Amino acid sequence: MPRLLLLLPTTTYRTEAFLEAASRLGVEITVGCDRTQALAARQPSHNVTLDFLHPKEAARVAALFARKYPIDAVVGVDDDTAVVAAAISEALELPHNSVESTLAAKNKHLMREMLRRCGVPVPRFAVFSLEDDPGDLAGRMTYPCVLKPLILAASRGVIRADGDREFVAAFRRIEAMLRQPEVAERGEPARRILVENFIPGQEVALEGLLTDGKLQVLALFDKPDPLDGPFFEETIYVTPSRHPAAVQDEIVSCAARAAAALGLREGPVHAELRFNSQGIWMIEMAARSIGGLCSRILRFGAGLSLEDLLLRHALGMEIESMERERQPAGVMMLPIPQAGVLRQVSGKEEAEAVPGIVEVAITSHLGQELVPLPEGARYLGFVFARAETPDRVEAALREAQPRLHFTIEPSPVESTV
């Protein structure tokens, strides 16, 4: 029986979805974790501990493991494990993205350089070091601009600045994030800040799957809430897109060129693009599928989940259809509105009673310390909707949200020692 190695970081929202898909496949599953699992010793073929921050070392350990338990495919679920999956696949000679392409997709500076070199439209950009003095740099910037770390995700540390003072404040704020030990340990890229032109316009997200370099679009999502900063919280995603067909075609073609420019050839991509009167702009392309619990709203062919599809694709198994179901669908990510401790959640039933709402999933737990953007990386939860039209999907999400109430007790102000 074939064996699939699934790389699951401890912080992912996607464990359940991937494990459920894996159990439906009828193949042997080994879970690669970056922490020793309690049961690992008892079931040595089911778990392997890998260092996700050191892909070469992880590949060495995985290759040893594979001598005893041969591996047929490796699947990562986030930016880091996409690199590890590529490194392991290379060691095992399995078809996969090159390690370089996954590294480029994870490092925003490298990505910008590779895209620009291949003529994919990207904002003008420059990269600075934490040793630089933002007070000196500010006067040389063109505003509005966006500052961001190279290696974080989920809009963490992405801040718009409209002038010198905001630039300096944003720089310092990102610097404080990057100096946190768990970020700083990521080395050189964690000591840099990318600054780029703010691209006004509408934003969309493209979910795609690459096979031998060819991009298949799985879903194109509109993001109807304005994303003008200063922080860029994800909220509503609605598919299919309501933008004109010609714009959608251009978006898809731009994404395909971006994948080629980065050298990505196999597996999922999740891209964000903007468009305005000047055309389409590539904001970002990641070598992974959509994050959070968002994939729950997607169904393909005869009812495959996104995770079913990705695992089958990785194993080279037959996929009857990658066509998303006809019905419009959407999800709202619920951003954390303020820092504090979550004390109470109410209104879930009321929100679920809104026509079109199929589920409200509250992922934060009572007692949890909540950190909003730009520092935080989590959501309060997710609201899922299906309806006859994308407009109705969006309306249902907007009607459901105010029915949810979160009591957040402000944290005591930390004393500075």
Residues that bind Ca ion (CB under 5 A): 272, 284
What's the min distance (Å) between Cβ of 392 and Ca ion? Answer: 27
x/- track of binding to ligand ADP for residues 182-221 (CB under 6 A): --------------xxxx---x------------------
**CA-CA-CA-CA torsion sign (265, 271, 276, 278):** negative
Q: Is 240 helix (H, G, I), strand (E, B) or coil?
A: coil
Q: Measured from the CB of residue 258, what is the shortest distance to ligand ADP in angstroms? A: 13
Question: Minimum Å distance from CB 227 to Ca ion?
Answer: 11
Please state, in angstroms and rounded to a whole number, the distance separating the CA atoms of residues 159 and 195.
10
Shortest distance, position 247 Cβ to ligand ADP, whole Å: 17
**Long-range contacts at 238-242 (CB < 8 A, ≥ 24 apart):** 238/328, 238/329, 238/330, 238/390, 238/393, 238/394, 238/397, 239/324, 239/328, 239/329, 239/330, 239/390, 240/324, 240/328, 240/390, 241/204, 241/390, 242/390, 242/391
Per-residue tokens: 354: 């809104």
Question: Quick one: 153 or 385, whose CB is closer to ligand ADP?
Answer: 153
What are the two backbone dihedrals, phi and then psi, of residue 346, each rounded to the nearest 5 degrees?
-140, 165
State in angstroms the smallest separation of the CB of 230 from ligand ADP: 10
DSSP 370: E
| Residue 123 or 240 with smaller CB distance to ligand ADP | 123
For ligand ADP, the closer CB: 223 or 403: 223
Q: Sketch the per residue contact string, 37 through 76, with ligand ADP: x for CB under 6 A, - otherwise.
A: ----------------------------------------
Task: Determine contact, residues 76/84, Cβ cutoff 8 Å.
Answer: yes
Name which of ligand ADP, Ca ion, none residue 156 binds, using a CB cut-off of 5 to 8 Å depending on partner kind: ligand ADP
Q: Which partner in ligand ADP, Ca ion, none is near 222 (CB below 5 to 8 A by kind)? A: none
DSSP symbol at 388: S
User: Among 146, 238, 269, 290, which residue sits at the site for ligand ADP (rule: CB under 6 A)?
Assistant: 146
3-class DSSP state for residue 86?
helix
Say which entry of Ca ion, ligand ADP, none residue 154 contacts (CB below 5 to 8 A, set by partner kind).
Answer: ligand ADP
Q: Which position among 30, 89, 102, 155 is part of the footprint of ligand ADP (CB under 6 A)?
A: 155
Stretch that binds ligand ADP, among 89-97, 151-159, 244-252, 366-374 (CB under 6 A): 151-159
Query: Which is closer to Ca ion, CB of 78 or CB of 272?
Result: 272
CB-based contact 272:281 (threshold 8 Å): no
The 280-319 contact track toward ligand ADP, x by CB under 6 A, reads: ---xx-----------------------------------
DSSP annotation of 401 reads G
SS (H, E, C) 298-353: CCECCCECHHHHHHHHHCCCCCCCCCECCCCEEEEEECCCCCEEEEEEECHHHHHC
Helix pair angle (55-68, 79-92), 10° resolution: 50
Q: Which residue has the tokens 């009673």?
A: 353
Instruction: Scan for tokens 């979805």, then name that residue.
Output: 17
Chosen from Ca ion, ligand ADP, none, partner binding at 313 (C-beta under 5 to 8 Å by type): none
State the minimum distance, in angstroms, from the CB of residue 74 to ligand ADP.
Answer: 23
Residues 6+ apart with CB under 8 A from 412: none
Q: Which stretch binds ligand ADP (CB under 6 A): 2-10, 49-57, 154-162, 400-408?
A: 154-162
Residues within window 217-256 making contact with ligand ADP, judged by CB under 6 A: 227, 232
Chain positions contacting ligand ADP, by CB under 6 A:
108, 123, 146, 148, 152-156, 158, 196-199, 203, 227, 232, 272, 283-284
